[in-house]
Amino acid sequence: MEYAISISTLVCLLIYAALALVLLRGLERSSWSEEASGAADFPAVSVVIAVRNEEDNILELLKSLQTQDYSNFDVVIVDDASSDNTRGIAEDFCRNKTNFRVIPAAENTFGWGPKKNAIHTGILHSRGEIILTTDADCRPQSGWIRGITAKFTGEIGAVVGYSPLIFDNTIAGRLKSLEALAAAIIAAAFIGEGKPFLAAGRSFAYRRSLYLEIGGFGESGSAPAGDDDLLLQRIGKYTKTAFSFDLNTIVPSYPEAGDYIARKRRHFAVAKRYPLPFILAGAVVFLLIAGITALIILGLITFAFGLLTAGVCAFILKVICDYILLSRGAKKLGDGFRHSDMILAELIQIPYTLILQPLSFIGKIKWRGRKL
């Protein structure tokens, strides 16, 4: 058994290293296209925001949107059956503003997830050529709309932006922020490789005509999440996509710390809908971490120095691959991280991957007072 675990771990490690090289290449390609972009015109943009029980956040978001240095845009706030004063606060702000309005989410006739239905409602009521989405806990910079829109050149049908998650300066907070940074780097790298599969709805844009042409969220609509990545995957089948490295388009997000586990369960639960190559890549990561863990545990229990050494060496090589990709991507995104946080994150990734991810596929997921 030890031999089989060692060989399988080695194979997974080699595949993992090869994937890291591909992602590094994709990251470079994605940033090269960034340098060549820049739309000459100023198309109409509709910012669509689905909100539910966001009375503590909505006003600051709307104030941020009011400071945009782009004139040809409107904002559609879709109230998704809030039970607090979200809608009242938004309506007070939008009063006497011609390009800001609040509408209720329409009846869900497609059987889609509630948030997707709300976004779809907003898109149907939008006026812009470009749909740009964000969340209530986000604070877009003044150059956000202009910078994202500038990426829509030629055949580009969708643009993914960077939206760091900002928590308090505790170890837990920094680790969550580091995870969001890593996800953005992976998203940019795969887009650079022409295989878009990951996006954050906190800063995500696409052509309205294309969205309607492909049937919106389509069969992915019933998933508990995926209003961003699953939609990006659908769009990527028909057109080219881009990632914005423009620092003016960075959209900080300030989520509630208590939502983290539920948020991650929602995200993991849609992974089974990903295209097969991405599911297989995820399986390689899972098997690699499982193999490293098994080698170290067996080495400690049986006092087998060879197994322990193999497990530790495999872990170190994985950390090196991750560090090279993370440091390169962080530099391109104008962000950074503590080396000590990354090492801790690598250790926490073991129970995170082996326990939390599988549990995400069990039972109903509760989010914003709903079972999804």
135 φ, ψ (degrees, to nearest 5): -115, 165
64 in any annotated domain:
yes
Tell me: do 251 and 162 sit in the same domain: yes
The rounded distance, in Å, linking the Cα atoms of 142 and 93 is 18
Q: Is the dihedral of CA 342, 345, 347, 349 positive or negative?
A: negative
31 in any annotated domain:
no
pLDDT tens per residue, range 90-138: 999 999 999 999 999 999 888 898 999 999 999 999 999 999 999 999 9
- The whole-number pLDDT of residue 211 equals 97
Tell me: do 266 and 280 sit in the same domain: no
pLDDT tens per residue, range 197-217: 999 999 999 999 999 999 999
CATH code at position 88: 3.90.550.10
For residue 196, the cross-strand partners are none
297 in any annotated domain:
yes
CB 53 within 8 A of CB 83: yes
Beta-strand relationship, 156-160 and 240-243 = parallel
Tell me: do 66 and 136 sit in the same domain: yes
pLDDT tens per residue, range 154-176: 899 999 999 999 998 899 999 99
The rounded distance, in Å, linking the Cα atoms of 345 and 114 is 33
Tell me: do 329 and 204 sit in the same domain: no
Tell me: do 227 and 311 sit in the same domain: no
Tell me: do 145 and 226 sit in the same domain: yes
Tell me: do 107 and 248 sit in the same domain: yes
CB 136 within 8 A of CB 225: no
33 in any annotated domain:
no
234 φ, ψ (degrees, to nearest 5): -65, -45
48 in any annotated domain:
yes
Beta-strand relationship, 130-133 and 156-160 = unpaired
209 in any annotated domain:
yes
Domain endpoint, select from 232, 249, 270: 270
How far from each other are the two terminal CA atoms of the chain, in whole angstroms?
40
Residue 40 has pLDDT above 60, yes or no: no
Domain endpoint, select from 254, 270, 286: 270
List of residues 6+ apart from 35 with CB closer than 8 A: none
- The whole-number pLDDT of residue 124 equals 96
30 in any annotated domain:
no
Number of structural domains the chain divides into? 2
What angle is formed at CA 176 by the lines to CA 329 and CA 223, rounded to 5 degrees? 95
Domain endpoint, select from 270, 285, 300: 270
Tell me: do 205 and 295 sit in the same domain: no
Tell me: do 152 and 300 sit in the same domain: no
Tell me: do 205 and 315 sit in the same domain: no
**Which residue segment(s) compose the domain that 306 sits in?**
2-25+276-371
Closest CA to 359 of 349, 347, 371, 351: 351
List of residues 6+ apart from 30 with CB closer than 8 A: 188, 189, 191, 192, 242, 243, 245
312 in any annotated domain:
yes
Tell me: do 125 and 13 sit in the same domain: no
The rounded distance, in Å, linking the Cα atoms of 100 and 127 is 12
- The whole-number pLDDT of residue 103 equals 97
- The whole-number pLDDT of residue 130 equals 98
Tell me: do 239 and 296 sit in the same domain: no
Q: What is the DSSP letter of 364?
A: P
Question: pTM here?
Answer: 0.92
Closest CA to 158 of 239, 86, 102: 239
